[in-house]
Structure 1
Amino acid sequence: MTPAPAPATSEPERTSARRAERGIALVASAMRGVVLLQIVVSAASGVRLSHHPGAYAALTGAVVVVSVALIGQSLLTGSVRAGAWHVPDIALAWVAIPAMNLLLPASHVVGTWESWAPGYAINVAALAATWLRPAVAVVHATALGAWLIAWTSAADVASWETSLNNALTIPGYAIVVALLVYYLRALSAAADQSRDDAISATRALELQRYQLTVHDASSILRLLSDEETPAEVLPGLRLQAVREARRLRTYLGSQAQRSPDGSQRTIGAMLSAALEGFDDLPLELAVELGSHVELSEEVWEATCGAVTTVLHNVRLHAAAHQVVVHADTDGTTWEVVVSDDGIGFDQGSQPLGFGLDTQVREALAGHGISAEIRSSPGRGTSVTIVGPVTTREDSL
């Protein structure tokens, strides 16, 4: 009979699976300990009654040795899946049933603990369900029960009902233990998988948070370290580097980043902050129609970051001769558009990068703001940001 293979686990061994195995090993040891105690208590009486005392004592001693090995190995390793006692334990259960018929008087074959074979067989079949495959364990227990009824029915016993009940108890206990162990292992595996999924999700969120934090800063550092960066760009980059350094210190200190006070949380103020340090770009502003619209703190910060990211992309990739920043409102919604006449890209074959996709589109979507990105090769890129107009009360 082949033991059921242990499920694959990560290193170190998965916590819930390990606890479940230790619990199963502890219960198995306790169950065998109770049966072993009953066998030892009845052993002296069995030797006196036996037709062959030496054979009875040897068989009982073998069961004691195997049971002690089972208990010791299970407690030391915290598992019943592996052990030198597996095969001897099953073999002794099959041998003990006919041996009791041959070694004891017929009056003691059924219903006494001098004939410990039925109780031992029940325990062996139940514990085998902890390390055999469930189907194999149930088939084995059913066969062992049939083996018991075959031998006890051949003996001159007063109660055939007791023999039948003992025989039925063997597969009955095996089924219960197999179901319980299968459920515990499946439950622990699901708990460990949920834990692994949570860890993976947390790592992904941390990675995304890190990327959101360093994306624009890395663009600034790359340009500052590039000897080919035009001299006229450097003052703006240094200004942005100071701002990014301040933002990173805030991030590392776990403090909320603050926009200007409430009276300055307007689209105009937001664009002024976002455009700071981009004097090297050929910017043209047309923001008067929407500059007065007030934004909530969260929307102000998210939109400012998104516009900054768009301008970093323009600086790095567009090779634009003109960059137009437009703001407008119809009273219900506000709109900010950043358009360049640069090289553009093919949206059908070239996916959006982390900046446009995550730092712009996804970050704004989290605040109920849409960002539409349109581009084609040789015709530049346009990013349109649209959000709802809210009153001062709404934003509080």
Structure 2
Amino acid sequence: MRVGSGLQRAQSFMVLATGLYRVSHLVVGILAVAQHQRDSVLSWLGLTAAVASSLSVFGVARSRGWFGARPPLVDLVLVGCVLPFVVYAGGADRPSDIGWSMLLGGSASAVCAVALRRGAAVAGAVTALVVTHIAGYAMAGAEIAVIAAHLNALVSSAVLARVFWWYLRRQGRLLDAATEQAVAAEAARARYAERMAHHRALHDTVLATLTAIASGRADAGTAAVRERCGREAAYLRRLVQQQAEDDGIAPGTAAAVEHAVRSVESLGLRVTAQYGAPAEIPAHAAAALGSAVTEALNNVLRHAGTGRAYVTVTGSAGGVVVTVVDRGSGFDPLTVDKGMGLRSSIGERMREAGGAAEVDSAPGEGTCVALRWPA
């Protein structure tokens, strides 16, 4: 389940709602014991146990995002079924004195109604509470009307909590489905836009070159035409490779890196690019990667003393790793001026986007620039 999904929001709301419901009952219990049973040790112990059980149930729910399987059942037994008898044994032998402990059964039934998956389990929990509270009120000599009103509130708490949880869960799943459809549609539009960009590029480069050669306007034997054909052949190989990956690479990442490669190839640098299948990343991160790759390739062109570079795009845990490698002259990273592109333009750009850049080089051994998102 994705963080921030509709289903998770529904769960967070139910944890909050049932938690506030329990808090309201605990406040009543604290006031009742403080005013009328301050001398009853068992009442204070029972109230302390109820608070501890509440912290356990809702603390687990808060940390995990939902109720655990065991804490609600322990709360049901301790707060819902045992607490009334403990309070009665401490001297609360009138309906008005034992009422606060009975009230906590309502929030216990609400928690069970949303935490337990099976309807039979919820029915069993509510039945246990009903039997316990009938017995407790009977011991305290409560009238039938008081018992009936309390049982109605007890059962209503479970029913309403169950209905609310069903509705919110359904709405959360519908929201998640709609979000997934929107993301898929956006990805499809991005892929279509990328294909159209490739079609235009093919028209302006490969097709134009072939047409010029076929019509005799360009001599295929000249060095300039051969160099152009080599660059365009490399572009075609990358395009075929991307299609073979069944669109597994994130469109934004592919477009950004490909734009960087082609922009530097137009200046005479030959680039061999390999594309893997990383996860989709945000647009700002893809843009930062593309700019960093452009700067890294420009550095190869300006400083490496070689006419070839290698770019590899792979996936990491929920992100992307792009490496730019050359076999040129290399350098000592410790002696490089901090104002140069490797440290400022590349490193700062990646950090601002939430990524990282690492440079590995040595004199005579070439250079490897690794770009990661996220860091």
TM-score (normalizing by structure 1): 0.48
Partner of 2:104: 120
Q: Secondary structure at the match of 1:129?
A: helix
1:89 aligns with 2:75: yes
Select the residue among 20, 32, 52 that pairs with 1:42: 32
Select the residue among 104, 113, 117 that pairs with 1:133: 117
Distance 1:115 1:158, change over 3 A: closer
Q: Secondary structure at the match of 2:157?
A: helix
Distance 1:125 1:156, change over 3 A: closer
Map of 1:179-258 to 2, 5 A cutoff?
179-215=163-199, 217-218=201-202, 221-222=205-206, 231-233=213-215, 235=217
Larger Rg: 1
Distance 1:157 1:234, change over 3 A: farther
Partner of 1:21: 11
Moved more, 165-174 or 195-204: 165-174
1:172 aligns with 2:156: yes
Unaligned runs of 5+ in 1: 1-8, 242-251, 253-396
Size of the alignment, in residue pairs? 220
* CA apart distance, 1:235: 4.4
Map of 1:278-297 to 2, 5 A cutoff?
none
Give yes or no for contact 1:125–1:170 (8 Å, CA) kept in 2.
yes
Q: Secondary structure at the match of 2:114?
A: coil
* CA apart distance, 1:84: 7.2
* CA apart distance, 1:119: 0.2
TM-score (normalizing by structure 2): 0.50
Give yes or no for contact 1:24–1:79 (8 Å, CA) kept in 2.
no
Q: Secondary structure at the match of 1:130?
A: helix
Distance 1:22 1:99, change over 3 A: same
Provide Cα deviations, 1:71-105, integer angstroms capped at 9, x if missing partner. 5555x548442387434311211112333443335
* CA apart distance, 1:180: 0.3
* CA apart distance, 1:37: 0.8
1:150 aligns with 2:135: yes
* CA apart distance, 1:133: 1.7
Distance 1:150 1:235, change over 3 A: farther
Give yes or no for contact 2:109–2:158 (8 Å, CA) kept in 1.
yes
Q: Secondary structure at the match of 1:116?
A: helix
The amino acid that maps onto 2:124 is V
Cα RMSD, aligned residues only: 3.5
Partner of 2:305: none
For 1:95 and 1:158, how far apart are their aligned partners in 2? 18
